[in-house]
């Protein structure tokens, strides 16, 4: 079991961003991982045949188990999810799986991301609301030192930097 590989920070191309709230043509973005990012990380770190997931309580709970070769047994971590707005049943299963994977350390660094407030342009808004595609085409880059996020940047399709953050040095 390669816990170090399992818990490495996710590269920017495995992280997605969604709009949490809008205020004065600014949006607050949340960084998140989807279930596919967890599956890829589990496959990379322990191999596709060395992990399994099991859902219980009508998908409210998910148990992610990893085969520990040294111990000769499955080691499990479990968590509970919540329904999504778009597809309650599927969203519940996905959320409980992602939360169980957080318990293994996958994507845990997302909790350390800064608040991401971005000013949207007029063509990215309609009737005071952000257009869904506004941030989808942006390219995100993240930098880590010893597993700690030290910088984050988003660039739009025209190459303009739309968000930039650096950790304050002490």
Look at residue 139 and tell me whether its pLDDT is greater than 90: yes
Number of H helices, E strands in the chain: 3, 11
* 91 and 113 part of one domain: no
Residue 4, pLDDT above cutoff 70: yes
Domain region containing 49: 35-106
In this predicted structure, which of 1-10, 15-24, 87-96, 108-117 has the lowest mean pLDDT?
87-96
Of 85, 106, 127, the position where a domain reaches its end is 106
Give the pLDDT confidence of 59-108 residue by residue, as tens digits: 678 999 999 999 999 999 998 887 766 655 667 788 899 999 999 999 99
pLDDT value at residue 41: 96
In the beta sheet, which residues pair with residue 56?
61
Cβ neighbours of 41 (radius 10 Å): 23
Question: How many domains does the chain contain in total?
Answer: 2
Query: Is 91 in the same domain as 45?
Result: yes
DSSP 8-class letter at 118: E
Nearest residue to 81 (alpha-carbon basis) of 108, 60, 101, 64:
60
**Among 66, 62, 67, residue whose Cα is nearest residue 97:** 62
What number is the average pLDDT over the span 33-50?
A: 95
Task: Look at residues 75, 106, 137 and tell me which one is the last residue of a structural domain.
Answer: 106
Residue 39's pLDDT band, with cuts at 50, 70 and 90, is: very high
Q: Could you please report the per-residue DSSP string of 57-81?
A: TTTTEEEEEEEETTTTEEEEEEEE-
- Measured CA to CA, the distance from residue 114 to residue 64 in angstroms comes to 28
CB neighbour list of residue 61: distance below 8 Å, 6 or more residues apart: 55, 78, 79, 80, 81, 96
Domain shared by 156 and 124, yes or no: yes
């Amino acid at each position: 079991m390669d816990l170090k590989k399992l818990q490495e920070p996710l590269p920017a191309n495995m992280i997605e961003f969604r709009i949490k709230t809008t205020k004065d043509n600014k949006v607050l973005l949340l960084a998140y991982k989807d279930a596919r990012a967890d599956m890829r990380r589990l496959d990379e770190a322990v191999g596709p045949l060395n992990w399994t997931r099991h859902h219980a309580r009508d998908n409210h709970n998910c148990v992610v188990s990893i085969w520990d070769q040294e111990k000769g047994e499955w080691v499990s971590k479990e968590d509970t999810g919540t329904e999504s707005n778009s597809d309650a049943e599927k969203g519940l299963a996905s959320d409980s799986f992602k939360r169980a994977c957080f318990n293994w350390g996958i994507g845990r660094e997302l909790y350390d991301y800064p608040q991401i407030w971005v000013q949207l342009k007029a063509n990215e808004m309609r009737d005071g609301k952000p257009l869904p595609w506004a941030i989808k085409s942006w390219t995100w880059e993240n930098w880590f030192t010893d597993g700690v996020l030290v910088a984050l940047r988003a660039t739009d399709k025209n190459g303009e930097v739309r968000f930039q953050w650096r950790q304050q040095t002490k």
